[in-house]
Amino acid sequence: MGILYNQVADQLQELIRDGVYRDGDRLPGVRMLSRQFGVSISTILQAHQTLEARGFLQARERSGYFVRLPAVDAPEPVMRRHRSRPVPVSAREMTLDLCADEQKRMVPLATAIPHPDYLPLRQIQQSTLWAARRGLETLDYAFPGKESFRRQIAQRMATLGVPITPDDVLATNGAQEAIILALRAVTQPGDIVAVESPSFPGILQALEVVGLKVIEIPTHPSEGLSLEGLQLALEQWPLKACVVVTNHSNPMGARMSDERKKQLVSMLAAANVPLIEDDIYGDLYHSGDRPRPAKAFDRTDSVIYCSSFSKTISPGLRLGWMVPGRFMASARQHKYFVNLATSSIPQMAVAHFLEQGGYDRYLRSARQHYRESTERLRTAVARSFPEGTAVSRPQGGFVLWVQLPDGVSGTRVYQKARAESINVAPGLMFSTANKYENCLRLNSANPWSERIEQAVARLGAMAHEDQAARD
C-alpha cells in the first residue's frame, strides 16, 4: 500500500510538472482518479496528502484538491509617505468611462466589477420575479426607502455590531450616491476633505461633484490609512470630513484592524470631523471573519456608514444604502433633491433575497472564488512583469494594485493595452496629483482563462518594453 500511494503521488506530480494540471487547477475528484489509476479511493486520498506535504497540492474545504500556486516573488507596494496640500478636485481628465458599453468587448481588467459567473443570478431572479408579482407596491415612490429593505439592512447591520432600526437607513442608488449625500450633509463647497491615497476614483469624483478640496493621506497597502498622516492633516488643515474604505480598500485591498478603526474613529471624533465610511467590500473578506466597520466603534454618532450590493449581488441593481446617524435629516433632504427616491423593484427584490437567507451561502462561495482568482492573477503578474514590480496582497475584494519599477509608465501600458483590446485602470486615476503614474489597477474577479492569462502576459511584455525603451 505504502508503495502504491507513493507511485500514484509521483505520477500526479509528473502530470503537474508537465503542465497537464496547471497552477491553480482543480484535480479531478477522488472517484475519477481512483478509476483512472485503478487504485482504491483511500490510496488516492493518501497520494493527495503526500503531494500536499510535498507542497504541490492544496486542499480546500468542500472543493477538493488544487495544484498549489507557487509562492509569488513580487513584494507588496510600499506606502508612499508624502505631504500634500489641499487641492480642488478635477477628475475630468482622468475619467475614462472604463465601464461604458464600448469597453464591454475588451479583456475586462479595468473596472472593479464582480464577474457575472459569480453573481447569485438564480436567487436574485427568483426574488425579482417575486417582487414583480407584488403589484402596486412596485409602482409606489419609496422615499426614504422600502420598509422591507430598510428592515433587512438594519438586521444585517446589527450583526456587524451596529444596532440600528429601519428608520436609521436611507436607500440610495449605489454607494457612490451615498457618499455624495454624506459629503453634502457635512460640508460646504470649498471645504477640505481627507481621503486615502491611492484613492478610489469614485470618491475623488464625488468630491468634485460637491465642489470640495481634497487632501490625500498616505495609505499602507495592507494596514490602510496612515493615522499619523491623518493626524498631521488634522493639525494643519480645517478638515470637514474624512472618507475611508475601511475594509479591503480599493485599489490596494488594505483592511484596517479593529484597533486602528477605533483609533481612527476617536481621533476624528476628538477633532469633530465626521467619518464617511465606505464598506462595499466588507462582505468579500478572503479569510477569517467578517471585519467590523468603523461604525461599530462609533460612540458619538459621527460615522456615516455607506455601502451597496454592487460588488456582491449585482452592479446593475444600482442599490446601496447609508446610515447617516445624526446627519439623517440633511442626507434625507439631499436624497429627495437629487432624485427623490431609489427604484422600488430592486429594493423589494434584495429585501426578499436577504429574507430568504440565501445571501450568506452565496457569499461563502463568492469569497472563495475571489480569493482564488485574486491569488492566481497575483501569481501571473509576478511572473510576467519586470523585476522590481510590486503587487498588493489584498485581504478581500477583487482588485490588485500593481506598482511598476521606477520610470515605467502605467499610462503608456494602459494606452498600449487598449490598442490590443485589454482594458486596465492606469494609476493616474487614483490621485489628483498624478502620484501613481507607475501604477496599474487590475480587476481580479474574472475566472481564470486562456484569454486572461494571455492578456496578463501581454501586459507584462508591455511593461518590459516600456522599461527597455527607457533604459
Interacting residues toward a second copy by CB under 8 A: 91-92, 95, 97, 99-101, 113, 116, 119, 121, 124-125, 128-129, 131-133, 135-136, 138-144, 147, 172-174, 176-177, 180, 189, 202, 205-206, 208-209, 211, 313-319, 332-334, 336-346, 349
Residue 147 or 223: the one with the smaller Cβ distance to a second copy is 147
Please state, in angstroms and as integers, the Cα–Cα distance from residue 236 to each residue in 34, 86, 212, 242, following that order: 68, 10, 17, 14
* Least Å from the CB of residue 339 to a second copy: 4
Assign residue 223 a region (left: φ > 0; alpha: ψ between -120 and 50; beta: otherwise). alpha
Crossing angle of helices 344-356 and 147-159, in 10° steps, is 40
For a second copy, the closer CB: 334 or 441: 334
Nearer to a second copy, 8 or 113 (CB): 113
Cβ–Cβ under 8 Å, residues 182 and 324: yes
Distance in Å, CB of 423 to a second copy, minimum: 14
Residue 429 DSSP label: G
CA distance 167 to 275: 20
What minimum distance in Å lies between the beta carbon of 177 and a second copy? 4
Residue nearer to a second copy on the CB measure, 101 or 289: 101
Residue with Cβ nearer a second copy (285 or 309): 309
Q: Which residues contact 69 (CB under 8 A, 6 or more apart)?
A: 23, 24, 58, 375, 376, 379
- Per this entry, what is the length of the chain? 471
Nearer to a second copy, 81 or 133 (CB): 133
d(CA 230, CA 223): 14
Q: Which is nearer to a second copy, 328 or 402 (CB)?
A: 328
Quote the least distance from Cβ 279 to a second copy, whole Å.
18
Task: Choose between 21 and 359: whose C-beta lies nearer to a second copy.
Answer: 359
Cα–Cα distance for residue pair 377/410, rounded to 1 Å: 18
Q: What is the DSSP string of 283-338?
A: GGBSSSSPPPPGGGG-SSS-EEEEEESTTTT-GGG--EEEE-GGGHHHHHHHHHHH
Cβ–Cβ under 8 Å, residues 256 and 224: yes
* Element containing residue 178 per DSSP (H, E): helix 174-186
Report the DSSP pairing between strands 57-60 and 64-67: antiparallel
* Exposure on the CB side of residue 105, measured as CA atoms within 13 A: 4
Q: Whole-number minimum distance, CB 271 to a second copy, in Å?
A: 27
State the Cα angle at 307 between 346 and 340, rounded to 5°.
55
Q: Which is nearer to a second copy, 157 or 170 (CB)?
A: 170
Which residue, among 187, 314, 200, has the nearest Cα to 248 in the 3D structure? 200
How many CA atoms, within 13 angstroms, populate the side-chain half-sphere of residue 330?
14
Comparing CB distances to a second copy, the nearer of 138 and 266 is: 138
417, 461 Cβ separation under 8 angstroms: no
The residue (of 146 and 292) whose beta carbon lies closer to a second copy is: 146
Q: What are phi and psi of 430, to 5 degrees?
A: -100, 20
Give the helix ranges, DSSP H, for 115-171. Answer: 121-132, 147-159
Q: How far is the CB of 311 from a second copy (least distance, A)?
A: 12
* Complex with a second copy: residue 203 or 413, whichever CB lies closer: 203
Helix (H) or strand (E) holding 16: helix 2-17
C-alpha cell belonging to residue 28: 479531478
Give me the least distance between CB of 217 and a second copy, in Å please.
22
Burial-class residue 382 by CB neighbours within 10 Å (0-12, 13-18, 19+): buried
Q: What is the nearest approach in angstroms of a second copy to the Cβ of residue 2?
A: 51
